[in-house]
Amino acid sequence: MKGTLVDDKVRGRPDAPVSLADLANEAGVSISTVSRIVNGQIHRASPKTVARIQTLVKELGYRTNHAGRSLRRGDSRLVAMLAPNIDNPAMAAIAASTEAALRKAGYVMILCDTHDRADLQDEYLQAMRAQVAHGYVMVSSVRSPELSAAVERGDPMVFVGRRSPYGPAAYVGIDNRQAGADAADHLLALGLDRPAVLRPAVLSNSIADRVEGFLDRLAERGVPRKAIRIARGDGASHLDFGYDAAKALVAKGGWPAAIMCPSDLMAYGAYRLAHEQGIDVPGACRIVGIDENALNAWIAPWLTSIRIPYKDYGASVVEQLQALWAGQAPPERLLPHELVVR
């Protein structure tokens, strides 16, 4: 078929969504003509044009944008996602997965970056409530007055990554304690029974669970907690946390044979310091992270990591929201994780 869009769909971007404008450009007709035909109004176009558009719809896999149609009717089915630091690959993956699932279900997602700040989280919660958001996806949320009020009102909210700081609520994530335990089992299997742990100075409940799961498993396997070196890091991001914590660790006792980092970005920070000091990773020091974000296969052949299935989060988030909209209290949704060894 002549035209670049079909070639792109076949060769370059098979998952890219097809728009009315794409169909119109490919067929050489107006967007309004395409819109009428895909909505069943075929009497105002020639049979040849109708057939052409219908063929393109099938070949390119066009799907009606129910969310866009809702906006045009003034019935905006808005869902707000509040997430910190969306430049973090893990946050970006959660956002992409959730947006795709919501769009498929006919909803429009608005993404708000809270930068892990309670004041910004409250500002966005107020703004989204003014827009009559139908639901909220709270990714790694923090305690704040507006969040407390929203939970008290019973606003439909799904917490992702970190559980609600205000008691039981709809939640999508992994078993973080078990992920930490799996990291410990891997290092012990390699004979590395004195690993160090890096952690942020201020712990979220998810990071705390990963660290505690790691330490508890070592204790179960006969490694006393007092034998494990733990270093805390500060800064503006997990990259900073990892670098700062590794620096503190090395200053007090040199490089250990193994380090557990509760996020891949912290592992990147630790690796940066190792590179600066000429330490071979994984030869002289093995680093285990938790996330297994998509960048690892490209830039971190030295990093063993626990893969979190972020691409599957979206469908689970929508299921939880739909249950809340139906007046139900859905149970927590814990997705399976797996160790990726490098």
Residue 188, Cβ density class (10 Å: 0-12 exposed, 13-18 middle, ≥19 buried): middle
Tell whether 320 is covered by a domain.
Answer: yes
Same domain flag for 206 and 227: yes
Q: Do 170 and 199 share a structural domain?
A: no
Please tell me the total count of domains within the chain.
Answer: 3
The predicted structure's pLDDT at residue 10: 40
Residues 118, 209, single domain; the answer is no
* Contact yes or no for 171/140 (Cβ under 8 A): no
CATH at residue 43: 1.10.260.40
Do 180 and 289 share a domain, yes or no? Answer: yes
> According to the model, what pLDDT value does residue 13 have?
47
What confidence score (pLDDT) does residue 64 get? Answer: 63
Residues 168 and 213 reside in one and the same domain: no
Distance CA 51, CA 42 (A): 10
C-alpha 30/C-alpha 317 separation (Å) is 37
| Residue 341 vs residues 98, 156, 169, 261, 288: alpha-carbon distances, Å | 27, 39, 34, 15, 9
Q: What are the structure tokens assigned to 96, written together?
A: 């992409």
Spell 73-82 as b/e; 16+ CB within 10 A means b: eeebbbbbbb
- The tally of CA atoms less than 13 A away on the side-chain side of residue 250 is 19
Please work out, in degrees rounded to the nearest 5, the angle formed at the alpha carbon of residue 46 by the alpha carbons of 44 and 49: 110
Same domain membership, residue 315 and residue 170 = yes
The reply to whether 196 and 298 lie within a common domain is yes
Which residues of the chain carry a pLDDT beneath 50? Answer: 1-3, 9-13, 67, 70-74
Does 104 share its domain with 187? no
Question: In the prediction, which pLDDT does 77 show?
Answer: 84
Dihedral sign, Cα of residue 62, residue 63, residue 67, residue 70? positive
Is residue 342 included in any domain, yes or no?
no
What local confidence, expressed as pLDDT, does residue 161 receive?
94
For residues 153 and 218, state if they share a domain: no
Q: What is the pTM of this model?
A: 0.74
> 32 is in which domain, residue-wise?
4-64
Q: Is 209 found in the same domain as 296?
A: yes
Residue range 11-62, pLDDT digits in tens = 344 556 778 888 888 888 988 788 888 877 777 889 899 899 889 988 888 8
Report if residue 49 sits inside a domain.
yes
**Structural domain contains residue 182:** yes
Preceding omega of 301 cis (within 30 degrees of 0): no
What is the 3 state secondary structure string of the chain?
CCCHHHHHHHHHCCCCCCCHHHHHHHHCCCHHHHHHHHCCCCCCCCHHHHHHHHHHHHHHCCCCCHHHHHHHCCCCCEEEEEECCCCCHHHHHHHHHHHHHHHHCCCEEEEEECCCCHHHHHHHHHHHHHCCCCEEEEECCCCCHHHHHHHHHCCCEEEECCCCCCCCCCEEECCHHHHHHHHHHHHHHCCCCCCEEEEECCCCHHHHHHHHHHHHHHHHCCCCHHHCCEEEECCCCHHHHHHHHHHHHHHHHCCCCEEECCCHHHHHHHHHHHHHCCCCCCCCCEEEEEECCCCHHHHCCCEEEEECCHHHHHHHHHHHHHHHHCCCCCCCEECCCEEECC
Q: Verify that 81 and 183 share a domain, yes or no.
A: no
Is position 113 within any domain?
A: yes
Whether residue 139 is contained in a domain is answered as yes
Whether 41 maps to a domain, the answer reads: yes
Asked if residue 275 belongs to a domain, the reply is yes
Q: Do 183 and 288 fall within a single domain?
A: yes
Q: Which two tokens stand for residue 81?
A: 């996602």
Please report, for the domain that includes residue 231, its CATH number: 3.40.50.2300
Q: Can you name the residues that pair with 81 across neighbouring β-strands?
A: 111, 137
Among 64, 81, 107, residue at a domain's last position: 64
Residue with tokens 């799904």: 158
Nearest to 196 by CA among 238, 243, 223, 231: 231
